[in-house]
Amino acid sequence: MLQVQNLEVVYDDVMLVLRGVSVAVPPGGIVALLGANGAGKTTLLRAITGLLDVHDGEVTKGSVTLDGEPVHHLRPAALVRRGICQVMEGRRIFAELTVEENLRIGGHTSPRTIKARMEDVLTLFPVLAERRRRTAGYLSGGEQQMLAMGRALMAEPRYLLLDEPSLGLAPRLVEQVRGLIVEINKRGTGVLLVEQNATMALSIAAHGYVLETGKVVLDKPADQLLADEDIREFYLGLT
Ligand code: ATP
């Protein structure tokens, strides 16, 4: 179980951005983390993956634990070895490298051969197989999103953290990314899905959290969040 407990995060020593947030991702589950711009979703992911200090942020209270062991002080590479991988917002692929080279970079930590894992990832993402020797910077936005997900999967994570994977994608591609998340999850990977697209996220998540100005204001099974008219309107912006 990946657990965030009572987490408090401060930027620049003064700005309190997370105020006692608790979130749990069970092994093999999909959990949605929703909330408006600036609610603190990306900050929560940074806290899990040890990337806060790059942004002058700091955990001032609470903990992030993996199977009971604290992990929020680990460097990102050490976390990947423990099975936690993040796909950041904006994809962050290596634009000058080919698709295949990008995938190889993601694959140095798992015991299975890179070749075997590359075959799995290319089977899951046929579009990457077709373009495996193409320079990544020339891929479309949707293809780059898939490459970023494929690269994270090369490490065979137990938990995958996705920051707005549907951002900027056409509806057809959002549908495709949604299907891929389901498929990845079926293979046993737990997913923490940060999304503005509440409908998409809650359609595949078992559980959802809604963050508002650094606090969890809702913590419920996904079907209950979707079924409640008030929640749909006031928190999810759905009608
Ligand atoms: P978005 O969807 O826009 O990414 P978010 O829910 O992910 O929003 P965060 O990016 O975590 O929200 O931001 C939460 C708050 O922290 C915002 O008020 C933001 O301005 C502030 N913040 C984020 N990064 C920093 C930083 N490096 N230094 C200072 N403040 C920051």
pLDDT digits (tens, 9 = 90+) for 142-195: 899 889 999 988 888 999 999 999 988 888 889 989 999 999 999 899 999 999
Per the CB < 8 A criterion, the answer to whether 64 and 4 are in contact is yes
Instruction: Quote ipTM for the complex.
Output: 0.94
pTM listed for this prediction: 0.92
Q: Which of 11, 16, 210 to mutate to test the pocket of ligand 1 (most atoms within 8 A of CB)?
A: 11
Quote the tokens at residue 135: 């320079």
Tell me the three state secondary structure of residue 68.
Answer: coil
Going from the Cα of 9 to the center of ligand 1, the distance in angstroms, rounded, reads 11
The residue assigned the tokens 């910077």 is 137
Radius of gyration (Cα) for the chain, nearest Å?
A: 17
How far is Cα 30 from Cα 39, in angstroms, rounded to an integer? 20
Q: Which tens digits make up the pLDDT trace of 57-67?
A: 999 999 999 99
Any atom of ligand 1 within 6 Å of the Cβ of 40? yes
Any atom of ligand 1 within 6 Å of the Cβ of 11? yes
Going from the Cα of 11 to the center of ligand 1, the distance in angstroms, rounded, reads 9
Any atom of ligand 1 within 6 Å of the Cβ of 190? no
> Burial letters for 117-150: b for 16+ Cβ neighbours within 10 Å, e otherwise?
bbeebbebbebbbebeeeebeebeebbbbbbbbb
- For ligand 1, what atom is nearest to the CA of residue 45? 11
